[in-house]
Structure 1
């Protein structure tokens, strides 16, 4: 026997101001009065039993169908909570995530939830959230001018949260899982040429820039900015020319500095160091020793390779400002510090370094990422390769088709006696 009760009720009020509900006499007088409602005891979050009531159905069959779906969910072990909205769930989910994700990841989740997801979906009951709701939000974000990459990250945050709801048997499916997302236009990576990088380094050297060795290391290794600001001298093996990336430096809300784990598993791999970078690191160590002596007891030693004069970590915002200031003074195009990473990739690909090696050097999580980011460069390299093959075939073909002008076995060259 099916649990639950289906009945009609209305919102009319008696002389005492209280709702009449099922006691309203108009319910018997007219089948059109009021709406259909059901009530049933179901398993709520936490395993407790609670009465769920839903009203506003136009027909008894519609109410019965909804009741049957809830009972089916209950039999399958799904928790039901009519009062929980998307806002309630995401707020709770974010609180839990704060304990297990990196601070930078938490801040990104928080911003997308507070600024985008809650205003668009927060008022919807979690169990009523549909693919249509998500699709509508995506359309609204596009109309508002949000970029494709940003929209994808917003939906990825929502999908991650809803996937956890499915794992906890709070939802039967993830409404954001198969959302149709805007295509990302793969813009060719710009940045500087090798000559411009040399010009930048020369300008920094001439003007005695304290961060010259930092720029040399960024360009010579392709490291991410946060990775290059975080290594300690203990992470360096100068004899074997290896730098181990064991942490990265980030700025939370442009105010609080935190050291976190590397971006990907590949990021923790050792970074090869050229002789040029090794020389820069030796100069950096000598400069840091002088600064340590000058500051004396006030020097705050964190063993950082690149630090402020007093030993404290360099702020990523300062590094960006300094980089752009030097570039502007040198008359170079405006660029990001991250563009130095793209420059490193460009130099390797142009030099014919195989793509898997480039990917490993940059510590991408997969070769596919490298291929996507630098498709235009790999195309150029591919063209150079096939053009070289074609040139070799053309040369061989020319040699094969050339007339044979060598003397035959019966041909005798002229001698001085023959001419007499």
Structure 2
């Protein structure tokens, strides 16, 4: 037998159980907490929990916990985590690990930011749209993990995130890109807080403020008409597409994902059911619209109906397999394949340059639709419903610069109403219009009412011959108090009529 084995047999043969009692503590529920060290024997084998110094030196070694957890393949796996300075720290980490198992999240104290973000992305792939997942994966893989991935998740603090943001800005990264990276990290850490994996979100408050959105350039009605007239001759497909975008306020992806089965020209409506998107500008996917409110009916104007009828007459409508979402599209290529959003944008900007109108994006046509309706005096609530915004505040925040005239009209309407009412109800033409009547004018109408509703004392009452005050009550005669403020007042004696009747009318 080796020397190490002889040592273990001599030193652990009789004292094995007593040393286990010293170095090992079992959790009340599951798992165990024990102390071990990194000492080795003459054969360079680690002694672990069998080091003799653990029984004599309380500062020797560190605390470790071990717990048996089930694995997805129906096998059990022993998880060991060590390096804790005290027994309470190890026991707290074990308790946290068991809470994570019960709550459905990983509470491994050694879990790094990279491990958590990778797991978070895998879970989000089932609930988010492919375009959103691709954007998150790009930020996580190329920005967040290289900078913060080596840190333990429990040790990640606001100072690390702020230092990362400032380093990126100093290196020349754009504020918008840095803010989007931080927003992705904040979303991931927010899920950790909701799952009770973290106590707070270290990415909140944000390290840098949200950059202001750039001011959009919106065409004037004259510029829009000039562009449409030019495209009707040069590029009928772009002309019909832009007629739909301007006339309904639809988003670009919703128009490119529109199917003929959802267009009802006799009823002058269409239904927004899908949206076409490009993942990393390479793979086309058809998903649901942006929000739940976006999936709704949209009214069609005669101009839009005319454009759709023209497009239907010049395009062969193909209705193939209903399960194939790429068939039956309203706007597609001649081979009936979907149009790529970037290709449509390049084509649109080329025609805009040829028509001599300012360079804008296809999404700016949605803002043009909102601008035309708001400036025409359509209420903000109707515009919000037409654009299918989730809340009215969304419309108000985006198009607040277009509601200034409506605000002036509102206060002018209040002024006009009050002025007209004041002119009709004025009973004192010799007074200025802004001057209120004197209070005596009001009191002279109130005094006869008080006299009318005040009770008349009975002829046999002791107070019948006394003058009545102006503030008579129905329960007792008026009483004039002569006591000074702050002095003690004895209870007032009840009137004889109340004492004789055996009742108290003071309440």
Shift of 1:390: 5.1
Tell me what 1:66 maps to: 89
Is contact 1:44–1:50 with CA below 8 Å preserved after alignment? yes
Counterpart check, 1:157 vs 2:184:
yes
Counterpart check, 1:102 vs 2:125:
no
Higher relative contact order (CA 8 A, sep 6+): 1
Question: How far apart in 2 are the matches of 1:111 and 1:191?
Answer: 31
Is contact 2:97–2:108 with CA below 8 Å preserved after alignment? no
CA separation of 1:369 and 1:165: change in aligned 2, threshold 3 A? same
Q: Give the counterpart of 1:117 among 144, 167, 173.
A: 144
Question: How far apart in 1 are the matches of 2:326 and 2:286?
Answer: 15
Question: How far apart in 2 are the matches of 1:329 and 1:393?
Answer: 54
Counterpart check, 1:317 vs 2:346:
no
Residues 66-120 of structure 1: per-residue CA shift (max 9 Å, x gap): 3354245246456543443221222233223323332112111111111221112
Q: Give the counterpart of 2:80 among 51, 56, 74.
A: 51
Shift of 1:140: 3.3
Shift of 1:331: 1.6
Tell me what 2:240 maps to: 213
Is contact 1:221–1:273 with CA below 8 Å preserved after alignment? yes
Which has the larger displacement, 99-108 or 155-164? 155-164
Counterpart check, 1:356 vs 2:381:
yes
Question: How far apart in 2 are the matches of 1:93 and 1:308?
Answer: 38
Counterpart check, 1:180 vs 2:211:
no
Question: How far apart in 1 are the matches of 2:268 and 2:176?
Answer: 37
Tell me what 1:407 maps to: none
SS in 2 for 1:210: helix
Is contact 1:267–1:363 with CA below 8 Å preserved after alignment? yes
- Structure number with larger C-alpha Rg: 2
Question: How far apart in 2 are the matches of 1:123 and 1:286?
Answer: 61
Q: Give the counterpart of 1:133 among 160, 163, 166.
A: 160
Residues 236-294 of structure 1: per-residue CA shift (max 9 Å, x gap): 111221111110001112121111111100110111111110111111110113x87xx
- Correspondences of 1:16-415 after superposition (within 5 Å): 37-42=62-67, 46=71, 48-54=77-83, 63-64=86-87, 66-74=89-97, 76-77=99-100, 79-147=106-174, 149-166=176-193, 171-176=197-202, 178-181=204-207, 182-289=209-316, 302-387=327-412
Structure 1 alignment gaps of length 5 or more: 58-62, 293-299, 404-420
Which has the larger displacement, 307-316 or 181-190? 181-190
Question: How far apart in 2 are the matches of 1:149 and 1:69?
Answer: 41
Is contact 2:156–2:202 with CA below 8 Å preserved after alignment? no
Is contact 2:193–2:201 with CA below 8 Å preserved after alignment? no
TM normalised by structure 2 equals 0.65
Is contact 2:254–2:272 with CA below 8 Å preserved after alignment? yes
Residues 305-361 of structure 1: per-residue CA shift (max 9 Å, x gap): 111122211111111001100111112111111110111111111112221221111
Structure 2 alignment gaps of length 5 or more: 1-24, 28-32, 319-324, 431-507
Is contact 1:199–1:330 with CA below 8 Å preserved after alignment? yes
RMSD: 3.8
Question: How far apart in 2 are the matches of 1:144 and 1:383?
Answer: 47
Question: How far apart in 2 are the matches of 1:45 and 1:204?
Answer: 65
Tell me what 1:415 maps to: none
Is contact 1:189–1:374 with CA below 8 Å preserved after alignment? no
SS in 2 for 1:306: coil
Shift of 1:371: 1.3
CA separation of 1:231 and 1:64: change in aligned 2, threshold 3 A? same
Residues 49-68 of structure 1: per-residue CA shift (max 9 Å, x gap): 4221116x6xxxxx456335
TM normalised by structure 1 equals 0.77
CA separation of 1:22 and 1:40: change in aligned 2, threshold 3 A? closer
Tell me what 2:12 maps to: none
Is contact 2:223–2:357 with CA below 8 Å preserved after alignment? yes
SS in 2 for 1:249: strand
CA separation of 1:179 and 1:266: change in aligned 2, threshold 3 A? same
